[in-house]
Amino acid sequence: MVAERAGPSLGDRFALATVLLIGAAFVLNNLAPYLGLNYAGAMTMFSGITVTADNHLFIPKVALGGEGAYVSITDRKAQNLTRPMTETIDRLLRSGNERPQVSINVLRYHLSRACASSPGASLSLTLVTEAGQRREHENVCAEPSMLRYDVLTSRRPCNNRACTRAMRVLRAENVSWADEAGWVDEGRPDDLPPR
């Protein structure tokens, strides 16, 4: 026979805290696109939300973090980079007649690889955000913040077709299959175009 307790037990309090914590994390993950934070698996499938999450009727885009940015490289000067990494950066600089708009996280990933490709590597970049803001970096290899990236993210790597084509070329994939499969844009069916 169990004696009556005056209130919730320690186990009940722990359980309630766990449920609330997991629930809060879930909610934060779904608000993260609008806060410029990284997120993974928010309920954005078939939602119509833009890649920059700036088209919600009620929630304005608040740039708490810089993770929602998409940038184009307009100029670069590389020193002591290996040839493959130089070609990678050049592929992100231009694809056809367009400049790829690539996620800042993906760009940082490639910059990290480029700067680690050989000792004394140096890379100066001029970036333009999708909002038209210009950013100049004298040497990204000397800026730790430009070399940190997230592995787990649901943010799309690209904001335009030029970037998508560039990514496929980097993966040595034949771009023609993507034209046949019209729904594919970096492997995400979540935002299918009407067909």
Q: Which residues here bind other proteins, judged by CB under 8 A?
A: 2, 8-9, 11-12, 14-16, 18-19, 22-23, 25-27, 29-30, 40-50, 55-58, 88, 105-106, 109, 149-154, 157, 167-168, 170-174, 177, 180-184, 186-192, 194-195
Fill in the amino acid letter for 137.
H
Kindly state the smallest distance separating residue 24's Cβ from other proteins, in Å. Answer: 10
Cα of first residue to Cα of last residue in the chain, in angstroms, is 65
Q: Is 75 exposed, middle or buried (0-12, 13-18, 19+ CB in 10 A)?
A: exposed
Do the Cβ atoms of 57 and 70 come closer than 8 Å? no
Kindly state the smallest distance separating residue 134's Cβ from other proteins, in Å. Answer: 25
Which residue lies nearer to other proteins by CB, 74 or 154? Answer: 154
Tokens of 29: 């993950």
Which residue lies nearer to other proteins by CB, 41 or 77? Answer: 41
Tokens of 67: 């993770």
Kindly state the smallest distance separating residue 64's Cβ from other proteins, in Å. Answer: 18
Which residue lies nearer to other proteins by CB, 61 or 137? Answer: 61
Kindly state the smallest distance separating residue 79's Cβ from other proteins, in Å. Answer: 23
Which residue lies nearer to other proteins by CB, 43 or 63? Answer: 43
Element holding 61 (H helix, E strand): none
Tokens of 20: 């609330």
Within 13 A of 3's CA, how many CA atoms are on the CB side? 3
Kindly state the smallest distance separating residue 171's Cβ from other proteins, in Å. Answer: 5
Which residue lies nearer to other proteins by CB, 29 or 124? Answer: 29
Strand pairing of 122-129 and 102-103? unpaired
